[in-house]
A = this chain, B = another copy of it.
Amino acid sequence: MESVTSRVLRVLDAFSAEHPDLSLSEIGRRTGLPLATVHRLVGELVTWGALERDGRGRYCVGLRLWEVAALAPRGLGLRDIAMPFLEDLYEATHENVQLAVLDGTDVVYLERISGRNAVPVLTRVGGRWPAHATGVGLVLLAYAPVEAQERYLAGPLAVFTGKTIADPARLRRALAEVRHRGFAVSDGQVTLDALSVAAPIRGSGNDVVAALSIVVRRGTTEPATLAPAVRTAALGISRALRR
């Protein structure tokens, strides 16, 4: 029999960026749990503050859960240390600045600072993206353990534009080049109008724990111009993490 814990977590799983608020019956449909069970679990989650009820009687993720989650070392913890360096990079460029970590085969974005006039990007804080298309993802894959890399290369590689590298052999070469150069370039591989340059952030054990990128409109700047700034900021964060 399924445990109560996994039912509770299934209720949390029902919420997504596309469905940030849900009615009781929607939670029932999305979890497959009986309505009486949903009613009881949601009641307990609301009491604790993991969920909140809005003015229209719909449920959404609550502030208390956000507070607990803020303690995640790979979430806001890393972000807090990185933030001053992201600020500097933003102020020097006024472009999109992004911080991400690898989770399974996806990159998860921890922070994004967007210039008002910067090229639009599809990512959001807390959002996921397949690693091989994005600048930060190429960095994180390039420095991932060999087994994780091989698993990724064996899997289906989604295509987002005509420039996405979806061929395993080409991707393998691209990852080797990232390691050789110390930074990654995603040139129109997520959307055709965006160019991303990303660099690795190393943790206390010197392994790559996160990646930093800058995303600009394609054709406005050369990767070689952006790389030193991104690498400088990434090295600064790495140093701060080792303190």
A interface, CB within 8 angstroms of B: 3-6, 8-9, 12-13, 15-17, 20-21, 41, 44-45, 48, 50, 52, 54-55, 60-77, 79-80, 83-84, 87, 90-91, 101, 103, 108, 113-114, 116, 124-128, 205
> A13 — nearest CB in chain B belongs to which residue?
B68
Q: Can you name 19 extra interface pairs (CB under 8 A) apart from A65-B65, A68-B69?
A: A6-B44, A20-B71, A20-B77, A52-B72, A61-B68, A61-B71, A62-B74, A63-B74, A63-B75, A65-B69, A66-B74, A67-B108, A67-B126, A69-B69, A69-B126, A80-B125, A83-B113, A84-B116, A91-B91
Q: Which residue of B lies closest to A21 (CB)?
A: B73
Given the interface pairs A84-B114, A113-B87, the reply to whether A16 lies near B71 with Cβ below 8 Å is yes
Q: Which residue on B lies nearest to A124, using beta carbons?
A: B80
A5-B41, A6-B44, A9-B50 given; A103·B69 CB < 8 A: no
Q: How many of these chains are in the complex? A: 2
The chain B residue with its CB closest to the CB of A49 is B103
Q: How far is the CA of A48 from the CA of B5 in the complex (A)?
A: 10
Selected from B17, B71, B74, B124, the residue in CB contact (under 8 A) with A126 is: B71
Across-interface contacts of A101 in B (CB, < 8 A) = 63
- Evaluate whether A72 and B60 lie within 8 angstroms (CB atoms) in the complex, with A41-B5, A44-B5 already known: yes
Distance in angstroms from A152 CB to nearest chain B CB is 18
| Cα(A20)–Cα(B4), bound, Å | 25
Residue pair A66, B126 in contact (C-beta under 8 Å)? yes
Contacts of A60 in B (CB 8 A): 71-73
Tell me the minimal C-beta distance from A210 to chain B in angstroms. 11
State the CA gap A12–B62 with chains docked (Å). Answer: 14
Measured between alpha carbons, how far is A51 from B9 in the docked complex, in Å? Answer: 12
Chain B residues with Cβ under 8 A from A75's Cβ?
Answer: 61, 63, 66
Q: A9-B50, A20-B71, A44-B3 known; A126 and B65 CB under 8 Å?
A: no
Residues of B within 8 Å of A48, CB to CB, are 6, 9
Chain B neighbourhood of A16, CB < 8 A: 71
Q: Can you list 6 A-B contacts with CB-CB less than 8 angstroms, sorted by A residue number?
A: A3-B44, A54-B73, A61-B68, A83-B114, A87-B113, A91-B91
Among A5, A12, A77, A103, which residue has the most Cβ atoms of chain B within 10 A?
A5
